[in-house]
């Protein structure tokens, strides 16, 4: 009996045949292309930060989904200066009443979110019949460095667009101590 189970007898050959794996086949071209695209994206997304000038951990351009994302500690504060060119009137807008505590905390040091908030303010004012300019006073402390201005205070963020191109209105990172 043992000889048959081990494959030396005629019964063992049948048993081995019964447990044999089905023949494998090569993956099709669609699966190969999908896997190649997946792995190319896994490499390309983290490396896109190399396409932007300056410290991407400061500007956050090409920063999300990057490998160094957990190496950064940032805190910030931002207020928005709104100006009505028709009347010359200028006032400050605190974004926090429009946001949750977590949204306000995150927005304060992320340039794309600051831009979005400035444009929300501009749209709110447009609904009131005012075409306004919106500028940000944004200061960020970054990896133990002292607070530094993040956004050019002279740029009207209501007129800027969020594109993949480098944003000249984001100021350079402060020097390391």
Q: What span, in angstroms and rounded, lies between the C-alpha atoms of 124 and 137?
A: 19
Quick one: 45 and 75 in the same domain? no
Quick one: 136 and 84 in the same domain? yes
Quick one: 95 and 56 in the same domain? yes
Q: What integer pLDDT is reported at residue 10 of this predicted model?
A: 56
Q: What integer pLDDT is reported at residue 113 of this predicted model?
A: 96
Quick one: 42 and 64 in the same domain? no
Q: What span, in angstroms and rounded, lies between the C-alpha atoms of 67 and 44?
A: 11
Q: Total structural domains in the chain?
A: 2
**Is there a domain that residue 166 lies in?**
no
**Is there a domain that residue 154 lies in?**
no
Quick one: 70 and 21 in the same domain? no
Q: What integer pLDDT is reported at residue 108 of this predicted model?
A: 95
CB 89 within 8 A of CB 160: no
CB 116 within 8 A of CB 145: no
**Is there a domain that residue 175 lies in?**
no
Q: What integer pLDDT is reported at residue 6 of this predicted model?
A: 56
Quick one: 22 and 73 in the same domain? no
Q: What integer pLDDT is reported at residue 55 of this predicted model?
A: 82
**Is there a domain that residue 162 lies in?**
no
Residue-number span of the structural domain to which 36 is assigned: 10-50
Quick one: 31 and 93 in the same domain? no
Distance of CA 96 to the CA centre of its chain: 22
Q: What is the mean pLDDT of each run of 10 residues along the chain (177 residues)?
A: 54 67 84 94 80 82 71 90 96 94 95 97 96 97 91 98 92 86
**Is there a domain that residue 103 lies in?**
yes
Q: Which two tokens stand for residue 21?
A: 């794996």
Quick one: 24 and 57 in the same domain? no
Quick one: 60 and 145 in the same domain? yes
Quick one: 85 and 143 in the same domain? yes
**Is there a domain that residue 25 lies in?**
yes
Q: What integer pLDDT is reported at residue 58 of this predicted model?
A: 83
Quick one: 82 and 109 in the same domain? yes
Q: What integer pLDDT is reported at residue 15 of this predicted model?
A: 66
Parallel, antiparallel, or unpaired: how do β-strands 148-149 and 133-142 relate? antiparallel
Quick one: 85 and 118 in the same domain? yes
CB 121 within 8 A of CB 131: no
**Is there a domain that residue 110 lies in?**
yes
**Is there a domain that residue 122 lies in?**
yes
């Amino acid at each position: 009996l043992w000889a048959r189970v081990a494959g030396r007898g005629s019964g063992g050959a049948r048993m081995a045949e019964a447990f044999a794996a089905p023949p494998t086949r090569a993956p099709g071209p669609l699966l190969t292309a999908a896997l190649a695209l997946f792995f190319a994206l896994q490499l390309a997304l983290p490396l896109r930060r190399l396409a932007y000038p300056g410290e991407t951990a400061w500007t956050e351009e090409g920063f999300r989904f990057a490998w160094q994302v957990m190496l950064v500690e940032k805190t910030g504060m931002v207020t928005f200066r709104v100006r009505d060119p028709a009347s010359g009137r200028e006032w400050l807008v605190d974004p926090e009443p429009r946001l949750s505590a977590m949204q306000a905390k995150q927005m304060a040091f992320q340039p794309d979110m600051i831009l979005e908030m400035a444009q929300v303010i501009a749209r709110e004012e447009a609904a009131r019949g005012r075409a306004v300019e919106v500028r940000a006073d944004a200061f960020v402390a970054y990896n133990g460095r002292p607070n530094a201005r993040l956004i050019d205070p002279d740029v009207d963020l209501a007129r800027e667009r969020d594109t993949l191109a480098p944003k000249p209105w984001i100021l350079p990172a402060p020097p390391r101590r």
